[in-house]
């Protein structure tokens, strides 16, 4: 007799107990949980997933979808059930009688089994216990339990097959409706009469035993050994840490910290990058915040938690207005939603710069899986899949989101081309983007429910491309080499080949208006290859049909020592190249050739640390000269020497003898002359800059611990460098300021500084006619454009103009010096109007 159901069903029943446990977690009602479990298992029986998909993950996704739809409301639930119903006539009275009779027969067959088979079968399939646990309960060997299960199933098959003349499908399919609560919710009069007259107990028993019946339908096979249902992990409900995401649990001991993180090219050099964290500050004992959904509505009943806060993780559940309170740890961190139906879109940030109310934004959780293949259907490994929110996502909200930071969703395909994004946010306008070197990037809208996607990446076609191959010194193809065409970068594939489109409007070259003439290939451990395109009479490059880039040679190094003014070695000093060779732009910003050659994959620049003898060695150098810089991370005191030819081994860097102020002190005041209390103030420097076309593309900062202003706005700092350092002042009520940047601190009043800061005002523009403007700016009394700030947790984005999308702007922070709102359309000014702002308030400006 052949198996009437896919083999996947056998695996399905191994997880039945786990599905019931998950259903209890997804609902707050026992009967609803049972309905949810039955719906999930019914879906798996009637529409089983492909064999390539992990079954438990698929079941969890189905259960979440059903639970989410229930939670969305009765109307949507009814619509879902209507859509899921078979497009056929209702069963006749005779069919209903046949089904109920078959169900009773199955129940009778199970309850009629002789012992010990009956108890063993019930423990295995209804309770979901594995053979080893059953063996412990019954005091028999595990093999005995497996034998009883096999023989009990055989007896059931024999009895039922005999009762139905060998037609196993007849009694099996009679049980399928029992997995659908909607078919039991409103039984027909005939069905009700049968249940009442012929025994509710038999039908109830068949509901319980339906999983057993499906298992009985399977051919004889060895009983698999699976973990006990009680010991199986619950469905994943905590958003995992995303690879490559900023750290969400900085050290709780910031006694001495140095930040060396670069900003992205789009981030102006005057500010830390959005992933840079400010020195930790004390937080209140009670942390208060809000939970909103993806369109700005408050959500009740959502549990939030601080990951990485130890075993006793602070947590809370949102109230009817979305608000929550929890105990606050004494460190900076992020708050995530921990809910099986939702995923975190914006994490709430507390501590440090982000001391405004943290807002956690969530969206329905969509589990995406898929396979990436090429045009011939072969799997593509190393393809990067990620989720991108709509560009104007923050404009949907009327709340201040200064203390809300974006979450990342990333995955990479393996050799089988599979990827998994189980925490995808179901946000309207969201996109899944898939990219792999050598292929045209792919993007499509995020599905509204869990899905398995097949994504086809195509090879680029046409003449407007630069193609080539990277080979090693021996002429063999080199896989995984970094290749740069101007600022655009890619990797060589398994054949060593690469390709660049020349007309990509979204590329770094296009945004920077660069017309590249050079190709560079880099691989750690060998010298890079370089190709200069010949130029036409008009100065444009002439690219051959194919370019071969041959790597070769061994990178060199520079070594030496760092000492104090007396010549004593200094341990723990940071040393790096002042003038490395620009490679191109990677995901996190500009990268340097020397960093990549030294094996710092993805790093923008590379530093080393001196040992106990004060010695250092910088590897990965080209055959050229370099300037070398050393810095004491405890004070930011620096020294610089050079140039030195690569290969030099006796470089000596001596720290200056009189480079520190013993004391720097003063007051922080607002523009009106009032003291600003509670502002963080600390020394900071621009440790490294990347320049393109004589302009700064990114800046990497270093900072040390500072202090906080008192009630009178006073502060005091010790051992501050006399040059190359400025004072960073930041706080909840103010626009961050970098005092002394671009110059030097005033030595004549270094202990009685008066620093004026701008207070932070928030506003949001909403247009009656969305087509009337697409951009805005704010002017001060003198008509100067002020910097507009979008705070993103521990960092910010800034510009002189901000976009307006579909008539809405983001919530913008600007100086209290703002007086006039200017609207633009396609770059042309269309209106000016007074702007009434007040520090600490949120203004909604309707025009």
Residue 299 belongs to some domain of the structure: no
User: For residue 73, how far is the Cα from the chain centroid?
Assistant: 29
Reported as a pLDDT band with limits 50, 70 and 90, residue 231 is very low
H or E stretch at 763: strand 760-766
We report the CATH number of the domain holding residue 534 as: 2.60.40.1120
pLDDT score at 431: 95
- Mean pLDDT score, 770-787: 95
User: Do 818 and 841 belong to one domain?
Assistant: yes
Same domain? 704 vs 834: no
Asked, for residue 223, whether it belongs to a domain, the answer is: yes
pLDDT of residue 354: 45
Taking the C-alpha atoms of residue 446 and residue 120, their distance in angstroms, rounded to an integer, is 46
Q: Please tell me the total count of domains within the chain.
A: 5
d(CA 842, CA 44): 50
pLDDT confidence tier of residue 167, bands split at 50, 70 and 90? low
Residues 602 and 647 in one domain: yes
Higher pLDDT, 527 or 87: 527
DSSP string, 595-620: HHHTT-TT-SS-EEE--TTSEEEEEE
Q: Which of 730, 757, 784 is the last residue of a domain?
A: 757
Strand ranges in 656-713 using DSSP code E only, listed in sequence order:
660-670, 680-692, 695-703, 707-708
Q: pLDDT band for 794, please (50, 70, 90 cuts).
A: confident
Q: Count the residues in the chain.
A: 847
pLDDT at site 346 = 95
Verify that 683 and 705 share a domain, yes or no.
yes
SS3 content of the chain, % helix, strand, coil (to 5): 20, 35, 45
CA–CA dist 350, 391 (Å, integer): 25
pLDDT digits (tens, 9 = 90+) for 805-823: 999 999 999 999 999 999 9
Q: Are residues 44 and 71 in the same domain?
A: yes
The pair of structure tokens assigned to 187 is 């039984």
CA pair distance 813, 809, nearest whole angstrom: 12
Residue 313 lies in a domain: no
Distance of CA 712 to CAs 153, 283, 376, 678, 717, Å? Answer: 82, 20, 71, 10, 16
Please state, in angstroms and rounded to a whole number, the distance separating the CA atoms of residues 664 and 717: 5
Asked if pLDDT for residue 459 goes beyond 70, the answer is yes
Reduce the DSSP state of residue 467 to 3 states and report it: strand
Contact 341, 363 (CB under 8 A): no
Domain end position, chosen among 529, 550, 571? 550
**249 part of a folded domain:** no
Q: Give the pLDDT score at 311.
A: 56
Give the residue, 238 or 313, on which the prediction is more confident: 313
Residue 164, pLDDT score:
65
Same domain, 679 and 627: no
Rounded-to-integer distance, Cα 711 and Cα 127, Å = 64
Q: Collapsing DSSP states into helix, strand and coil, what is residue 579?
A: coil
User: What's the pLDDT tens digit per position in 375-420?
Assistant: 999 999 989 999 999 988 999 999 999 989 999 999 999 999 999 9
Q: What is the pLDDT of residue 177?
A: 45
- Cα angle, residue 412 at apex, residues 620 and 57 outer, rounded to 5°: 150
If you average pLDDT over residues 310-339, what whole number do you get? 83
Residue 333 pLDDT more than 50?
Answer: yes
Do residues 567 and 241 make contact, with C-beta atoms less than 8 angstroms apart? no
The mean of the pLDDT values for the chain is 79
Residues 600 and 734 in one domain: no
Distance CA 821, CA 307 (A): 41
In a domain, 247, yes or no: no
Q: Which of helix, strand or coil describes residue 12?
A: helix
CA angle 142, 144, 147 (to 5 degrees): 115
Percentage of the chain beyond pLDDT 70 is: 75
Rounded Cα gap, residues 117 and 60, in angstroms: 31
Question: Is pLDDT of 482 > 70?
Answer: yes
The strand ranges marked E within 318-428 are: 323-327, 333-337, 342-350, 359-374, 384-388, 404-406, 410-412, 418-425
Q: What residues contact residue 771 under an 8 Å CB cut-off, 6+ apart?
A: none
Distance CA 401, CA 392 (A): 13
DSSP H or E segment with residue 574: strand 574-577
Picking from 208, 231, 254, the residue at the C-terminal end of a domain is 231
- Give strand pairing partners of 702: 685
Instruction: Decide if 700 is inside a domain.
Output: yes
Given a cut of 70, whether residue 743 has pLDDT beyond it is yes
711/639 same-domain check: no
Domain that holds residue 492: 465-550
Count CB-CB contacts under 10 A for residue 351: 26
Confidence check: pLDDT of 592 > 80: yes
Task: Pinpoint the alpha helices (H) of 308-396.
Answer: none
Q: Look at residues 432, 455, 447, 385 and name the one whose alpha carbon lies nearest to residue 413.
A: 385
Whether residues 592 and 539 share a domain: the answer is no
Identify the CATH number of the domain in which residue 824 sits: 2.60.40
The answer to whether residue 432 is domain-embedded is: no
Spell out the residues 6+ positions from residue 759 whose beta carbon is closer than 8 angstroms to its own: 670, 671, 733, 734, 735, 815, 816, 839, 840
| Residue 168 pLDDT class (50, 70, 90 cuts) | low
Averaged pLDDT for residues 753-772: 95
Q: What is the pLDDT of residues 243-287, one digit of tens each?
A: 333 333 333 333 333 334 333 333 333 323 333 333 434 434 688
Which has the higher per-residue pLDDT, 37 or 496? 496
799 vs 690: which has the higher pLDDT: 799
Strand-pair partners of 661: 720
Question: Does residue 309 surpass a pLDDT of 80?
Answer: no
Same domain for 678 and 647, yes or no, is: no
- Residue 499, pLDDT > 80, answer yes
Give Cα separations from 726 to 72, 258, 681, 685 (angstroms).
53, 15, 10, 6
Q: CB–CB of 737/755 below 8 Å? A: yes
Please provide the DSSP assignment of 42-89 as one string. HHHHHSPPPTTS-HHHHHHHHHHHHHHHHHT-HHHHHHHHHHHS-SSP
Residue 176: partners with Cβ closer than 8 Å, 6 or more residues away: 42, 45, 46
Q: What pLDDT, on the 0 to 100 scale, is given for residue 36?
A: 82
Residue 88 binned pLDDT confidence (cut-offs 50, 70, 90): very low
**Dist. CA 227–CA 233, nearest whole Å:** 10
* pLDDT exceeds 50 at position 335: yes
DSSP 149: H
Report the percent of the chain where pLDDT is more than 90: 47
421 and 369 Cβ atoms separated by less than 8 Å: yes
Note whether 177 and 97 are same-domain residues. yes
The answer as to whether 441 is a domain residue is: no
- Residues 93 and 181 both lie in one domain: yes
Higher pLDDT, 19 or 336: 336
Is pLDDT at 577 greater than 50 in this prediction? Answer: yes
Q: What is the pLDDT at residue 95?
A: 61
């Amino acid at each position: 007799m052949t198996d009437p159901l896919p083999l996947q069903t056998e695996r399905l029943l191994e997880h039945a107990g786990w599905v019931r446990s998950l259903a209890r977690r997804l609902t707050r009602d026992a009967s609803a949980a049972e309905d949810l479990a039955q719906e999930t298992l019914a879906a798996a029986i009637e529409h089983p997933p492909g064999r390539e998909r992990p079954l438990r993950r698929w079941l969890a996704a189905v259960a979440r979808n059903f639970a989410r739809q229930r939670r969305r409301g009765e109307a949507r639930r009814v619509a879902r059930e209507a859509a899921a119903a078979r497009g056929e006539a209702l069963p006749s009275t005779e069919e209903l009688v046949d089904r109920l009779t078959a169900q009773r027969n199955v129940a009778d067959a199970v309850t009629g089994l002789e012992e010990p088979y009956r108890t063993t079968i019930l423990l295995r399939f209804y309770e979901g216990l594995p053979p080893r646990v059953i063996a412990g309960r019954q005091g028999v060997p595990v093999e005995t339990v497996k034998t009883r299960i096999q023989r009990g199933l055989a007896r059931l098959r024999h009895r039922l097959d005999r009762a139905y003349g060998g037609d196993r499908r007849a009694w099996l399919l009679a049980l399928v409706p029992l997995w659908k609560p909607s078919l039991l919710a409103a039984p027909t009069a005939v069905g009700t009469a049968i249940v009442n007259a012929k025994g509710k107990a038999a039908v109830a028993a068949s509901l319980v035993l339906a999983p057993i019946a499906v298992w009985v339908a399977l051919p004889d096979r060895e009983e698999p050994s699976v973990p006990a249902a009680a010991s199986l992990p619950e469905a994943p409900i905590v958003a995992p840490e995303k690879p490559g995401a900023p750290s969400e649990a900085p050290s709780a001991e910031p006694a001495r910290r140095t930040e060396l993180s670069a900003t992205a090219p789009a981030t102006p050099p005057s500010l830390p990058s959005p992933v840079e964290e400010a020195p930790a500050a004390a937080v209140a004992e009670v942390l208060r915040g809000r939970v909103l959904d993806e369109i700005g509505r408050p959500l009740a009943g959502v549990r939030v938690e601080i990951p990485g806060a130890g075993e006793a993780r602070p947590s809370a559940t949102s109230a009817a207005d979305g608000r929550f309170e929890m105990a606050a740890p004494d460190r900076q961190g992020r708050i995530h939603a921990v809910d099986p139906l939702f995923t975190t879109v914006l994490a709430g940030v507390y501590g440090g710069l982000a001391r405004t109310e943290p807002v956690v934004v969530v969206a329905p959780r969509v589990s995406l899986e898929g396979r990436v293949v090429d045009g011939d259907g072969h799997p593509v490994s190393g393809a990067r899949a990620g989720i991108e929110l709509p560009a104007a996502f923050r404009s949907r909200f009327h709340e201040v989101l200064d203390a809300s930071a974006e979450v990342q969703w990333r995955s990479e395909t393996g050799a089988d081309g599979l990827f998994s994004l189980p925490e995808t946010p179901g946000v309207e306008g969201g996109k899944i983007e898939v990219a792999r070197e050598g292929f045209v990037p792919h993007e499509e809208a995020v599905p509204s429910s869990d899905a398995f996607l097949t994504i086809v990446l195509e090879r680029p076609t046409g003449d407007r491309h630069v193609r080539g191959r990277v080979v090693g010194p021996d002429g063999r193809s080199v896989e995984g080499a970094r290749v740069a065409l101007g600022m655009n970068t890619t990797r060589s594939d398994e054949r060593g080949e690469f390709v660049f489109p020349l007309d990509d409007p979204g590329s770094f070259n296009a945004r920077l208006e660069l017309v590249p003439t050079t190709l560079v290939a880099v691989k750690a451990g060998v010298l890079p290859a370089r190709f200069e395109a010949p130029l036409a009479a008009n100065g444009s490059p002439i690219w051959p049909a194919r370019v071969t880039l041959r790597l070769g040679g061994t990178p060199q190094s520079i070594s030496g020592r760092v000492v104090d003014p007396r010549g004593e070695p200094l341990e723990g000093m940071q040393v790096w190249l002042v003038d490395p060779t620009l490679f191109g732009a990677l995901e996190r910003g500009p990268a340097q050739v020397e960093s990549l050659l030294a094996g710092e994959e993805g790093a923008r620049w590379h530093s080393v640390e001196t040992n106990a003898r004060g010695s250092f060695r910088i590897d990965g150098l080209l055959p050229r000269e370099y300037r070398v810089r050393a810095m004491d991370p405890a004070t930011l005191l620096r020294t610089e020497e050079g140039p030195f030819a690569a290969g030099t081994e006796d470089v000596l860097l001596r720290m200056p003898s009189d480079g520190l102020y013993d004391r720097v002190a003063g007051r922080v005041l607002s523009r009106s002359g009032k003291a600003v209390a509670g502002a963080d103030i600390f020394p900071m420097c621009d440790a490294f800059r990347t320049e393109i076309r004589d302009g700064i593309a990114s800046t990497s900062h270093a900072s040390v611990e500072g202090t906080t202003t008192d009630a009178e706005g006073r502060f005091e700092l010790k051992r501050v460098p006399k040059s190359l350092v400025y004072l960073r002042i930041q706080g909840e009520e103010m626009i961050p300021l970098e005092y002394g940047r671009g110059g030097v601190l005033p030595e004549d009043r270094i202990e009685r500084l008066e620093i004026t800061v701008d207070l932070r005002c928030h506003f949001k523009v909403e247009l009656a006619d969305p087509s009337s403007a697409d951009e805005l700016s704010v002017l001060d009394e003198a008509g100067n454009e002020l910097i507009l700030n979008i705070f993103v947790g521990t960092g910010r984005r800034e510009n002189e103009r901000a976009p307006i999308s579909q008539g809405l702007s983001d919530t913008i922070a600007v100086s209290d010096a703002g007086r006039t709102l200017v609207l633009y359309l396609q770059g042309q000014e269309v209106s000016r109007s007074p702007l009434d702002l007040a520090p600490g308030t949120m203004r909604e400006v309707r025009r």
